[in-house]
Amino acid sequence: MIVGNPFATAEVGSRAPADRRCRLGFTVDVDRFAAALVDADGTVLASVEDVAPSASSSVVLPRALAGIMAQAGPRGVALDHVDQVMMAINEVDGRAGIREVDPDWSCWPGQLSPIGVVRLGAATTALPPLAGWPERLRSDVSVRAACVAGGAGVDGADFEPLDTAGLAAFARTVAGKVDAVVVSGVFAPVMPSDELAAAGLLRAELGDSVPILLSHEAGGAGLLPRENATVLQAVLLGKATGALRRLRRSMAQNGLAHAELFLARGDGSIMTADYGLTRSVQLHGAAKAVGAQGAAMLAGESNALVLFTTPDGEPTAVCAVAAGQARLASGPTDIAGVPTSVRSVAVVPTVPPVGGFPRTAADRIAEAVDRVKDVSGDLPLLVVGPGAGKLVDALPGAPAGTTLVCCPPRANAAVAVGAATALVTGSATRVLAADSRHGGDIRGKVVDQALAAAVHAGADPDRVEVIMVDEAMVARGAGPDLLLRVSAGGPPRTAWQYGRRRSPH
Amino acid sequence: MHLGGGCLHEFAHGCDVLGGGGGGPATESLPLAANAIALNGPVPVVTLAELPPDGLVMPCSLRGNPAVCVERIGTGRESIPIRHHVERHFGKPVVAMLCTQIGGYNGPAAVALAAHAGLPLLDGDAVGRSFPGFDQVAMRLAGIPPTPTVFADEHDRVVAVHLGNRDGLEPLARTIIGGFGGRAVSSGYMMTVEQAAAAVVPDSVRKALRIGEILAEPVATADAIRRLADEFGGVAIIEGRVAAVLRPTGVASDQHTRAMVQGTGRDSGRTVRLEMGHHYLAAFDGDRTLAAVPDIIALVDAYTGLPVCAGELRYGLRVCAVALPCPPVWRTPEGLDLAGPEAFGLQACYRRLDVR
């Protein structure tokens, strides 16, 4: 596996105009907010962290901007210099008001979008769409869920011929009753053609006003977790649209009309708001992921452990950073009681197990530090969040398994710094026969797909690069196969005015 | 007794313990079993005494590549064409389904397959744990012929293999499953109820359920594990942290993964070495063998209280390891020949669990 940061050598400064172009990182977590202004070189120009007057980002933004500009203004930075705003949140389900997660939330009509789900794969009824979901959530959102013939096999050949009549019949039963439709196909990430064809048919029946979400765009192996992730995204579409509209309006009202909005993802990267609108579950864990990376950047470490705190200086959880990137959990991510294909940061809470030791805060931290690692070896422990200073002062020394414990500069705003400095990434996966004669061509195509995916998510097309290539042997039956995974990434694209100035044609 | 929706979580967690780290996660087939029960009602769990002696017992399991099985989840109704084929071939009715292996994915999967086929589930299985081979089943040791072995995919395509007196099911099975695109439900070693009395591992379903109930009790995982060991004549091996997982490099399939578990709490100062392949194969304390296949070695996460598959074991996990005795059939010379330490490439000789 090749892991590297493509931007270490990129000539960031040479292409910037005389004035300072900046990014604003911004996060709201229940009753606290943090913001940070970072220039193109990654220098933090200003940061704030404080009690939030509301949990709504659009209400908190002016307050954050006032704090930021009070520091940055005297240094010659104006709001005009802010090209992008990067927003990070932590949990999707709690925020979305899904009752399974927050029983006190009163779920009013229109909160969660009513949806229809059609699965391409008639012979997959061992568990129909939504069948494993918490009963109440399903009855809140599901208008109709069905399986029709379609999908692909592991080699991309037809699993079943696409049932166009069945799709049309499905469309007629949901027409006028749903806010969105999800299409999930067997092996759609290998061969998405049936999902694309189904989307065309559904659009012809339902018109252009009903969004159609396809599971291969959500991605991930496993029909059920991929389908679940896509359905949750459809369910949250109305909510996400409203939240983003309010945030954009707030940006416009506060002098940031020209800036492009990006959203942090649970894997520690960012995506444009437009791209993220239909991928809202990827926000899950984002604040922890970019917070860990931000802490590492602020401390000048590329490999570290990052401990999050409450304002009282209580530890909450530990994440790991390797080569500047937040380490991801190995398994699927449960959201609202549903397993999804979302890959998100590995988070180890500093909570003791049932009936067990360890007891003191220092014990709990030492144990969480060990549990979050994937190999032995001491690493620096960076403490961030509103109570970072307090916690470091209270600790007797560096916990076991760490080289040192420290509170990096601007530790309270690490999440905002991490959001402002994250990369836009994309990836592509493909299984091919180990002895394929077209191996070279296929590898080239997968690389192209990963680059395109990163640009689609909002990476600067001029500066996107391959950041990771991984090939692993997998057994698939007849012969050995290769699982090829490529990730690409780059800095966020800049808003159109700036782009115009750069390229006069 | 019936298996209903209410006790399925416990049953699945018990299946994962009996899987000994292998057999695929039972928690993945759990929703399939729950759905089958929601549609067809609870599945009766019967003993041999409740069945007509000349009725057929049909073992059933899912076989295939995990990467295919997570996409092609099937219908759970693959057992129906198999049942029809078997009844036509033998000219008599199938009266119960037998879970081929209780350990891991195929435990709850058998519940789904039985529910859809409208068959009761025999309280037993063919292994008492999980093993990777088609032939590593108790029926083989009892002299039940493996064929006809019947394979079905989710589109009701059926292939039956008849070997006569010859061996060689495994390569044929691989070809058939490959032809089905990497997934099939299969049934072999069919037998009468009368034959089954001496050929199957009894009580596996109740045992899995009971293990899951013990794990579900609101006590520290180490205490639950000790209770488990006491009740089933096993040994609590160690409570500790996974201090290293050394996976073999390259494609050499005869090499095992090794893991070191460093004791904590009352096991402070001890270290146990685990050898594992598809499942946990042996546990050593220095030169001393604490447990070895075919006995069941299971690891349970101290934080979640849930079993940890061999493929998921990684540095830093807090685990409690337990060894449970395998069914007696695997301790016979023939059983050890088929599924003892040497069958899995271990040098260590098998010795019985040292129960104090």
Interchain pair A371, B317: CB under 8 A: yes
Phi, psi dihedral angles at A82 (to 5 degrees): -85, 110
Q: Which residues of A touch B182 (CB under 8 A)?
A: 153-154, 476-477
pLDDT of residue B167: 82
Sequence-distant (≥ 6) Cβ neighbours of residue A254 within 8 angstroms: A61, A62, A65, A79
Sequence-distant (≥ 6) Cβ neighbours of residue B28 within 8 angstroms: B70, B105
pLDDT of residue A357: 60
Nearest by CB to residue B182, choosing from A330, A353, A476, is A476
- Provide the 8-state DSSP code for A498: H
Nearest by CB to residue B67, choosing from A121, A474, A480, is A474
pLDDT category at B55 given cuts 50, 70, 90 is very high
Give the pLDDT confidence of B329-350 residue by residue, as tens digits. Answer: 999 999 999 999 999 988 867 8
**Between residues A4 and A325, which one has the greater pLDDT?**
A325
pLDDT of residue A505: 41
Whole-Å CA distances, B89 to A61, B77, B93:
74, 20, 10
Q: Where in chain B is the domain with CATH 2.40.390.10?
A: 217-344
Whole-Å CA distances, B64 to A464, A478, B70, B187:
39, 12, 10, 13
Give the pLDDT confidence of B101-146 residue by residue, as tens digits. Answer: 999 999 999 999 999 999 999 999 999 999 998 899 999 999 999 9
Q: Could you please report the per-residue DSSP string of A65-116?
A: HHHHHHHHGGGT--GGGEEEEEEE-S-HHHHHT-TTT-TT----TTSS--EE
Give the mean pLDDT of A212-223: 92
Of the candidates A32, A22, A38, which has an alpha carbon nearest to the alpha carbon of residue A297?
A38
Q: Is the pLDDT of residue A7 over 50?
A: no
Q: Is the pLDDT of residue A496 over 70?
A: no
Give the mean pLDDT of A492-505: 57
pLDDT of residue B86: 96
Nearest by CB to residue A223, choosing from B36, B70, B243, is B70
Interchain pair B32, A127: CB under 8 A: yes
Interface test with B, best of A133, A186, A227, A354 (most B CBs within 10 A): A354
Q: Is A19 helix (H, G, I), strand (E, B) or coil?
A: coil
Q: Is the pLDDT of residue A504 over 50?
A: no
Tell me which chain A residue has its CA closest to the CA of residue B36: A126
Tell me which chain A residue has its CA closest to the CA of residue B113: A126
- The Cα B317–Cα B297 span in angstroms is 17
Q: Is the pLDDT of residue A256 over 50?
A: yes
Give the mean pLDDT of B165-175: 87
Q: Is the pLDDT of residue B226 over 90?
A: yes
pLDDT of residue B291: 95
Q: Is the pLDDT of residue A103 over 70?
A: no
B171 to chain A, any CB pair closer than 8 A? The answer is no
> Which H, E and C letters describe chain B, residue by residue?
CEECHHHHHHHHHHHHHHCCCCCCCHHHHHHHHHHHHHHHCCEEEECHHHCCCCCEEEEEEEEECHHHHCCCCCCCCCHHHHHHHHHHHHCCCEEEEEECCCCCCHHHHHHHHHHHHCCCEEEEECCCCCCCCCCCCHHHHCCCCCCCEEEECCCCCEEEECCCCCCCHHHHHHHHHHHCCCEEEEECCCEEHHHHCCCCEECHHHHHHHHHHHHHCCCCHHHHHHHHHHHHCCEEEEEEEEEEEECCCCCCCCCCEEEEEEECHHHCCCEEEEEECCCEEEEEECCEEEEECCCEEEEEECCCCCECCHHHCCCCCEEEEEEECCCHHHHCHHHHHHHCHHHHCCCCCCCCCCCC
Q: Is the pLDDT of residue A502 over 80?
A: no
Q: Is the pLDDT of residue A498 over 70?
A: no
Q: For residue B112, how far is the Cα from the chain centroid?
A: 15
Q: Select the highest-mean-pLDDT range: A193-197, B176-180, B218-222.
A: A193-197
Nearest by CB to residue B223, choosing from A153, A154, A355, is A355
CA B292, B295, B300 angle in degrees (round to 5)? 90
Q: Is the pLDDT of residue A379 over 90?
A: yes
Least confident of A458-472, A487-501, B287-301, B330-344: A487-501
Tell me which chain B residue has its CA closest to the CA of residue A353: B303
Residue B74's region, left for phi above 0, alpha for psi from -120 to 50, else beta, is left
pLDDT of residue B354: 75
- B291: distance to nearest CA of chain A, Å? 26
Mean pLDDT, chain B, rounded, equals 93
Q: Is the pLDDT of residue A34 over 50?
A: yes
B244 to chain A, any CB pair closer than 8 A? The answer is yes
Interchain pair B74, A367: CB under 8 A: no
- Percent with pLDDT over 70 in chain B: 98
Q: What CATH number has the domain spanning B2-202? A: 3.40.1610.10
Give the pLDDT confidence of B18-43 residue by residue, as tens digits. Answer: 999 999 999 999 999 999 999 999 99
Q: Is the pLDDT of residue A243 over 90?
A: no
Q: Is the pLDDT of residue A15 over 70?
A: no
Least confident of A236-250, B46-60, B67-81, B285-299: A236-250
pLDDT category at B286 given cuts 50, 70, 90 is very high
Q: Is the pLDDT of residue A14 over 70?
A: no
| Domain-wise residue ranges, chain A | 2-93+255-419, 115-235, 423-502
Interchain pair B303, A125: CB under 8 A: no
Tell me which chain A residue has its CA closest to the CA of residue B252: A473
- Percent with pLDDT over 90 in chain B: 85
Interface predicted TM-score (ipTM): 0.94
Q: What is the CATH architecture assignment of B217-344?
A: Beta Barrel (2.40)
- Percent with pLDDT over 70 in chain A: 88
Give the mean pLDDT of A198-210: 96
Give the number of beta-carbon pairs within 8 Å between A and B: 119
- The Cα A466–Cα A99 span in angstroms is 41
pLDDT of residue A9: 34
**Which CATH fold topology does A115-235 show?**
Rossmann fold (3.40.50)
Q: Is the pLDDT of residue A149 over 90?
A: yes
List the structure tokens of B125. 């299985």
List the structure tokens of B87. 């009844």
Q: Is the pLDDT of residue A117 over 60?
A: yes
Whole-Å CA distances, A212 to A140, A234, A364:
19, 8, 46
**Between residues A148 and A501, which one has the greater pLDDT?**
A148
Interface of A with B (CB under 8 A): 121, 123-128, 131-132, 153-155, 159-160, 186-187, 221-224, 330-331, 353-357, 367, 370-376, 431, 473-478, 480
Q: Where in chain B is the domain with CATH 3.40.1610.10?
A: 2-202
